Amino acid sequence: MNSKTLGAIASIALLATGCGGGDDATPDTPAATALAPDCTAVQRLSHANTVFKSAIQIDTDVVRSGTVTMPAHCVVTGEINPRTGVNGVRYSIGFELRLPLTWNGRFQFLGGGGVDGSIPLAYGFQRTGGVPALAQGAAVVTSDMGHTGVNGRDATFGLDQQARIDWGYNAMDKVTVMAKEVIGKFYGKAPQYSYYVGTSGGGRQGMMMAQRFPLHFDGIVSGAPILEQHLAQIGSMQMLQEFTAIAPKNANGQPILSKAYTDGDLKLIAAAVLSKCDALDGVADGLIENYPACTFDASELQCPGGKADTCLSAPQVTAFNKVMTGPRNSAGALLYPPAPWDTGIGEPEWRSDQIGTATGPIPNSSKFSNQSIKYVFMTPAAPDFDYLKFNFDTDPASMLASAAYTATNSTNYDGFKARKGKHIVYVGLADTLVNPSGVNRWYRELVAANGGLEATKQFARLFNFPGMGHSVGGAALDRFDPVAAIQEWVEKGVAPDFLVATGSRFPGRTRNICAYPQIARYVGSGSVDDAASFRCTAP
């Protein structure tokens, strides 16, 4: 690889830092005298509580993201607040910062995913489309959010209180402050525009920045935000219990969760939902645009006699309907909103997340294998907790404490509004990891707390994607560029009334995904593949 390794940069004395919370330099105010725009200059930089581990100059076209090659840049790695924690485990807030030698004045913090634990390549957001920020000339930073783990699923860090706090919000603040300081010293001026972009866990992180650290970023994109797991995971517990209760048993009397519904059963439900709700937007085209009007009852598919491939058994109907009405306690109080009916029920992602494919008695679904419930969201951590014994009257209280450092369902955007920040939030209506009904409830509460819809749309807009799964995928139009939209809004004042979307499941189709509460409704003529055949209107 054609690069120059500069080796370890001197460790910095561990000095106490503040809690963050502000962007001290205005976009046009130089932060320092500019250093030469090359990696050797980074050797002279320092930041409190930080060890800069290495700096490498990467030449033009040496690295790429997909088919996009990156410009010449400096990649800096390091860690903040290294320490030894509970059980002798070493912790630190790891980061990667990439500084293009030709800079366009933008800074992007690319969020992580799951419960993090690894440092993503700091190229910039590209998951749903668009050109990554580094390729456009922006400085980009990423982080492991304070711990190391595997595949974003290792939540054992939850045994360490500081690691919980670092993952919940502290790492985002510390890395932002560090990155902006280094950028200011490297280029001689602060970023002109700062953005936080992420999906899933990264979507939650973006919401955290708007709510807890509102002065850090001009624009934020939060896709599929996991905004209130202390509440939403109660729905996961309900699903596991209801579907396990009806699952066929093996020779030892153990239920096999994956067999609660066959692939044919799930496709049957999805097809029935589509048949009933597809045309509610004016035309049957494979997308349920008018999702607020879509209701369904699985009893429509119940077998008149024994179970057959073309119908559902009575236990299957009862369990599915119960799950789709949301979790309740013994008094009948709803503990979290029910998920919307959507075609995603028939997609592989639904099976993978909800009931899995394991042929043995130990499920492999994402909901069952989710460590974060036991280690992070339950206080104290309960590594041996049995999800099938979750008590809907008493156990929800064990998750409330985690809201203090993980939840991003606040409606207080006063600081963000004062900064004139802009926030785009989007979610797939077939998302089985983030209940889109919870995201929509939060937005309605945001509207109520901030002077109504028009006032709220001045700083935050929500987009619901029919058929789309967790961040991408599903029978959906899932290719769009929210980063370009947030930049247009921040830098030119052009607010997005819709996001233009395409997708491989509907070749040749373009559709405008309308800002909540509007939906795309067919005008009565024209091709369903042409966005001009639809208008954003009230449901």
Q: Which residues of 234-250 are buried (b: 16+ CB within 10 A; e: fewer)?
A: bbbbbbbbbbbebbeee
pLDDT tens per residue across span 397-439: 999 999 999 999 999 999 999 999 999 999 999 999 999 999 9
**Confidence band of 229 (pLDDT split at 50, 70, 90):** very high
The 10s digit of each residue's pLDDT in 103-121 is 999 999 999 999 999 999 9
Secondary structure (3-state) at 57:
strand
Give the SS3 label for residue 444.
helix
Of all residues in the chain, the percent with pLDDT exceeding 70 is: 92
Q: Is 369 a catalytic residue?
A: no
H or E element: which one contains 438? helix 436-449
The confidence band for 28, taking pLDDT boundaries of 50, 70 and 90, is: very low
Q: What is the pLDDT of residue 270?
A: 98
Tell me what pLDDT residue 37 has.
62
**Amino acid 8: pLDDT:** 29
CB 338 within 8 A of CB 437: yes
pLDDT at 17 over 60: no
Count CA atoms closer than 13 A to 195's CA, side-chain side.
31
Q: What is the pLDDT of residue 134?
A: 97
Query: Rounded to an integer, what distance in angstroms lies between the CA atom of residue 242 and that of residue 249?
Result: 14
Q: Return the pLDDT at 508.
A: 97
Over 50: is that where the pLDDT of 1 sits? no
**Contact, 516 vs 529, CB < 8 A?**
no
Q: With the CA atoms of 483, 175, 154 and 84 taken in that order, what torsion angle do they form, in degrees rounded to the nearest 10?
A: 180
CA 364 to CA 525: how far, in whole Å? Answer: 46
Q: Could you give the CA distance from residue 525 to residue 533 in angstroms, rounded to a whole number? A: 6
What pLDDT, on a 0 to 100 scale, did the predictor assign at position 282? 97
pLDDT at 25 over 90: no
Give the range among 4-13, 339-348, 422-431 with minimum mean pLDDT: 4-13
Q: How confident is the model at residue 57 (pLDDT cuts 50, 70, 90)?
A: very high
Residue among 23, 160, 278, 431 flagged as catalytic: 431
Average pLDDT taken over every residue of the chain: 91
Q: What is the pLDDT of residue 65?
A: 87
**Helices H, strands E: what count in the chain?**
15, 16
Cα separation, 38 vs 100, in Å, equals 9
Q: What is the pLDDT of residue 136?
A: 96
Buried b (16+ CB within 10 A) or exposed e, 311-327: bbbeebbbbbebbbebb
Helix (H/G/I), strand (E/B), else coil: 107:
strand
Predicted confidence (pLDDT) at residue 21 exceeds the cutoff of 90: no
Say how far apart CA 357 and CA 13 lie, in whole Å: 51
Distance CA 320, CA 385 (A): 25
- Label residue 309 by pLDDT band (50, 70, 90): very high
| SS3 state at 77 | strand
Task: Tell me if residue 470 is catalytic.
Answer: yes
Band the pLDDT of 42: cuts 50, 70, 90.
confident
In Å, how far from its chain's centre is CA 408? 12
Write the CA distances from 297 to 38, 60, 324, integer angstroms. Answer: 63, 57, 9
Asked if 144 is an active-site residue, the reply is no
Residue written as tokens 């008493």? 394
Catalytic one among 200, 352, 437, 471?
A: 200
Decide: 83 and 147 in contact? Cβ < 8 Å: no
What is the mean pLDDT of the segment spanning 43-51? 83
pLDDT of 66:
86
pLDDT surpasses 80 at 2 = no
> What's the confidence (pLDDT) of residue 297?
97
Note whether 181 and 143 are within 8 A (CB).
no
Q: Is the dihedral of CA 377, 383, 387, 393 positive or negative?
A: negative
pTM of the model: 0.92
How far, in Å, CA of 96 to CA of 123, rounded?
10
Which tens digit of pLDDT belongs to each residue from 70-98?
999 999 999 999 999 999 999 999 999 99
Yes or no: say if 168 and 406 are a contact pair by the CB < 8 Å rule.
yes
State phi, psi for 470 to the nearest 5 degrees.
-75, 100
47 — pLDDT class (breaks 50, 70, 90): confident
Catalytic choice (47, 73, 230, 470) = 470
What pLDDT, on a 0 to 100 scale, did the predictor assign at position 149? Answer: 86
Tell me 170's DSSP state: I
Instruction: Say how many Å lie between the first and final Cα of the chain, rounded.
Output: 55
Q: Mean pLDDT throughout 265-276?
A: 98
526 has a pLDDT exceeding 80: yes
Read off the pLDDT of each residue in 181-200 and give the average, rounded to a whole number: 95
| Residue 131, pLDDT score | 94
* Pairing mode, strands 90-100 and 139-143: antiparallel
Distance CA 363, CA 358 (A): 6
